[in-house]
Amino acid sequence: MKMIVGLGNVGREYDRTRHNIGFITLDALADRNDLTFKQDSDHHAFVANWFYAGEKVLLVKPTTFMNDSGKAVRPLMDYYKIDISDILIVHDDMDMDLGKLRLRAKGSAGGHNGIKSIANHLNTQNFNRLKFGISHPKHSHQAVIDFVLGKFGEDEEPELLAGIDKALDIFEDFAAGDDIQTLMNHYN
């Protein structure tokens, strides 16, 4: 069994915002495969079951808000006895151009509070992640928080959709059994 966790914030005001790219990519995967997320209150998450290439994959959108994502990730890993190498965390990254993706097997949180929370709950920074570029604010006077909680513009759709398509390819290869090193060699 594997688990793909998309990071984001719950609530209509956060729909389609840059910070919610983890939710957006999992929603795209669910749409492509006709999957439905159901609330799992015991584990603070919306969960969908995806079966691909003979593998069951939990798709997880934590309901804890971004900064407490670890509260959902660790209990689900423990409950389903999922090895840390079989999880993939999808999150936004402002230091990369919109739609650019980078897989990592470990590393610091880089200021991302959702990743920091997961690292604290897992007691390690060695876990798989897919960083999805959301770019930097175009104007130096725009506050970072306003930028990441802002919605994507129509002019950004081509890069956004290309990144989502590539993310879905990565999810399929991950579910089919490619390890993180193989994925990094292929996609980075």
Active site residues: 19
CA distance 7 to 2: 16
The candidate with the shortest Cα–Cα distance to 10, out of 31, 41, 50, is 41
For 140, list phi and psi in degrees, rounded to 5. Answer: -65, -20
In angstroms, the CA 92 to CA 7 distance is: 8
**Tokens coding 118:** 């997961």
Burial 37-57 (b: 16+ CB within 10 A, else e): beebeebbbbbbebebeeeeb
Q: In angstroms, rounded to a whole number, what is the distance separating the alpha carbons of residues 80 and 33?
A: 22
CB 187 within 8 A of CB 44: no
Q: Calculate helix-pair angle for 21-33, 157-175, nearest 10 degrees.
A: 70
